[in-house]
Amino acid sequence: MKVPPTPPNKTVVRNSRTRLGAVKSKAQSNLSVVSNAPITASSSQTPLPPSPHSLRTQPSSIKQYFTPHMIHLWLKNLESIVHLNEAWNKKLNEDFTSWYWILHREKIKNSHQSLPITKEEYSLIASYIKTFPCSTSVIQAISAIIFRPPQVVKEIYDRITLGKKEPEEDTQWLGTIYKPFISKTLARHYEELLNIEKNLIQFDYSLALLWDKNVSPPQAYQPYRVYNNIDDEVIPYLKYTLENLINWKVKSPDVEFNYGCDCEDNCQDKKCSCAADNEDGYPMKNGRLIRSDIGPIYECNSNCKCNETCPFRVIQNSVRNNSNFEIFKTPNKGWGVRTLVTIKEGSFVMEHVGEILESRTAKLREVCYDKLDMLTYFDFDFGFDESKRSNVLCADSNYWCNISRFLNHSCNPNLITIPFFVEYKDIRFQRVAFFAQRNIPASTELTFDYKIKSDDFECLCGSSLCRYNKGPSKTNYKKSKRSKMEID
């Protein structure tokens, strides 16, 4: 497993210039965009609604205003807020995803004229002063909500904190430093003190896409074939990876579970300790699964004395050939995955990968994902009883992912999920493999059973074995409905 290169708010530059270092997950690369735009806002010729409550017309879908990359940056900043609790997290996400502030941001992005700070923006910032301790991350979160540079938000924040009344609607004030009525001694040094403070403040400009319209989103890279003859939707910008990435808040694997075999004959005598970890022995033969009613699969690893040709390294040695699969648009289930080659029963097909999260981080992200009806988590809960659910890790494949992100559900699937272990045998760090449970012809959609226990899940798998559709009234399949997918 890889570990993301830096925790939130570690890549910073001084606020004397604007620089975007687009964080590249999995395969780290940087995109730098320098913005020379002044710290000003913009205005559309159509005025903003006077208040959130006066909004009458709303677009049909909220999701069109949010991309996985945008949400990744937003969550990265939220998770850097010290002592972020459920109430704060809820307020931040409610404001960020509200129709009023969505349309406010769109007007600023699409406008060409400068715009004074509105009373609504002023009130929003004031509401955070009352409930949130001031921090760089909080300022950046407000910047993302109202689409203003963090320097501007900080100056407004200071104005309100020092007791300055809000600006008049017809002024062109934007971030003007206010000198309060304080002692003459302090007033003489006010500018100097403020400049020192500004030099100490460091904003994370890898997040600049959230508040600077001069920063363009990165160009999408697509390692898989994509086919869409249904509509004009395109695959969003995603970070593709071949292996899981561990979130910086996840406790490292227990070293006592990192061990290997002592086989001197490259595991040929069938007495390998790694193979013995498997229930009833290693369940693979000639590169294929010979039984499916098994527990997790344990393979040899870098701690073992055997080499890469060991017979107990089938999954890790399987070729990940992107050209064997295609992402395609289905008529009624969104995106799906199909195989372009024939797959034999028992063959390893792919691994499910994403960002590995601990339960608290997953719960905080869930608030945002629920509001946007975005992708679900994959719980690594095999072998855990209910009393230890808090120790379960999960994979978030909303942004960091591979092609398995697009696999659809079926009540009669052609894939099964089986947990497996290679480097780490700590039960928390189980990995998930997809195997073919029957012969799969080329051009067939690949599916697995989500095993969702929710009355809200609506299925269009079309199988005669469908467990969810009990009558004709359920006609919609919501692939992205928040849920927990389980391992077989």
Residues of 245-269 as b/e, b for ≥16 C-beta within 10 angstroms? Answer: bbbeebeebeeeeeebbebeebbee
Alpha-carbon torsion, ordered 477, 478, 482, 488, to 10 deg: 40
How far apart, in whole angstroms, are the C-alpha atoms of residue 145 and residue 168? 22
Summarize pLDDT for 163-216 with one digit per residue, the tens. Answer: 755 554 434 444 343 444 445 555 555 556 555 555 557 899 999 999 999 999
Non-local (6+) Cβ contacts of 1 within 8 A are 243, 244, 245, 246, 356, 423, 424, 429
Q: Where are the domains of the chain?
A: 13-210, 225-485
Fold designation for 225-485: Beta-clip-like (2.170.270)
What tens-digit pLDDT sequence spans the chain (488 residues)?
555 544 444 333 323 222 222 222 333 322 223 333 333 333 333 344 444 444 445 555 788 899 999 999 999 999 999 999 999 999 999 999 999 999 999 999 998 887 889 999 999 999 999 889 889 999 999 999 999 999 999 999 988 888 755 554 434 444 343 444 445 555 555 556 555 555 557 899 999 999 999 999 998 788 999 999 999 999 989 999 999 999 999 998 888 888 899 999 999 987 899 999 998 899 999 999 998 888 999 999 999 999 999 999 999 999 888 899 999 999 999 999 999 999 999 999 999 999 999 999 999 999 999 999 887 788 898 878 777 777 899 999 999 999 999 999 999 999 999 999 999 889 999 999 999 999 999 999 999 998 887 767 778 888 888 888 755 433 333 443 434 555 55
pLDDT confidence of residue 472:
44
How far apart, in whole angstroms, are the C-alpha atoms of residue 71 and residue 93? 11
Summarize pLDDT for 351-399 with one digit per residue, the tens. Answer: 999 999 999 999 999 999 999 988 778 889 887 877 777 789 999 999 9
How far apart, in whole angstroms, are the C-alpha atoms of residue 139 and residue 92? 11
